[in-house]
Homo-oligomer: A and B are copies of this chain.
Amino acid sequence: MRTDKLKQAAKNQTKPANFAVFNPTNITYFTGFQGAAALIILEQGENVLYVSGVNYEQAKAEAKGFTIQLLKRGENLMEKIAQQTAGAKLCVDTLPIESWRALAKAVGGEEKLEPATQLFRNLRQIKEKEEIDLIREACKMADVGIKTAQETIRPGLTEKELAAEVEYAMRKAGSDGVAFETIVARGVCCAYPHGTVMGRSICEGDFVVVDLGATNRFYRSDITRTFVAGKPTEKQQRIFDVVRLAQQKAIEAIKPQTPTKDVDAVARRVIAEAGFGEYFVHNLGHGVGLEVHEAPVLSPDSKDILDEGNVVTVEPGIYIPEYGGVRIEDTVLVTSDGAERLTKAPTKL
């Protein structure tokens, strides 16, 4: 059970094996349920999920193996937690300062609490088979989105119209919704890696960056392809080929026990050697799971080490101000001896 893994991880770091969990995604990770106020995991004793009236019936039906406590109107969650945990020292995940102080007051002082976001981060980054299967399906849905983009892009279409088509196609393929705000950016706007979808029309010869993801039972996927509306110029083809090579070499460098910064360096070197080093303005990638951005981080200053069961993006890019940009991204599983692409849409201009 995931709660047992969490307790073991805490013990390995000589932290208390009792937990107050507030981050909604962490709660979903342990319970399979979305919409609880807090989860208490105790070394000895039952695991209690606090749910307000609006979600109470659904929690009882869906959060199997947890004691569901109704949080009634006017009841103080922090005081209920203090009663339930009866003086135990607690590991706490991401809690805003005001709520932290309220909990500290309820349990009798900050010394009863220990911030432990890292424990949850570390646990969630090694995916179980069941999680990988869900992400794999979410990746297939994202591939459908990219295929639709490729078939739909034409001069005159707006970024928003393209976003409408790819999201509709993913929904039809079974997606529970977008994994994040779809990015469609054309022409010079591709020079912004996070360019917002606007009403701008695609012009003949434009680069078009399409960055999208699907959701499958809370698990996400993330893929980017860059197209040209029409026939690419030599310069466009050259930039594209550099980014594609950088991605390919980085994926080849992935295996368990490799520092993520080494994988980032492989891609960064390919791009720098081609003369575009200053234009690769972001990290190589990030973990994907219940959140679209989670651990590990693939960047020059990351201290993360890859391990079997990580699911990460590999997404080098070149962004030239006033000109445009190219990004190629896949969601990739770290296997026992390398990497497997979970998104499989073809990579060509």
Contact = CB atoms under 8 A, between A and B. Distances in A.
Interface of A: 34-35, 52-58, 61, 73-74, 92, 94-98, 100-101, 115, 117, 160-161, 163-164, 167-168, 171-172, 174, 176-178, 181-182, 191-197, 199, 281-283, 299-301, 319, 321
Contacts of A168: 164, 167-168, 171
A54 B94 contact: no
Contact of A177 (B56, B174, B178): B178
Of all A-B residue pairs in the complex, the 4 with the closest CB atoms, nearest first, are: A164-B171, A54-B282, A58-B192, A53-B281
B192 A57 contact: yes
A55 B319 CA distance: 11
Given A171-B164, A177-B182, A301-B74, A194 B98 contact: no
Contact of A55 (B34, B178, B192): B192
B174 A160 contact: yes
A249 B346 CA distance: 57
Given A92-B97, A95-B97, A168-B168, A181 B177 contact: yes
Q: Which of A54, A181, A191 has the most CB of B within 10 A?
A: A54
Given A97-B97, A171-B164, A178-B178, A195 B58 contact: yes
A96 B117 contact: yes
Q: Which of A58, A174, A191, A319 has the most CB of B within 10 A?
A: A58
Contacts of A54: 193-194, 281-283
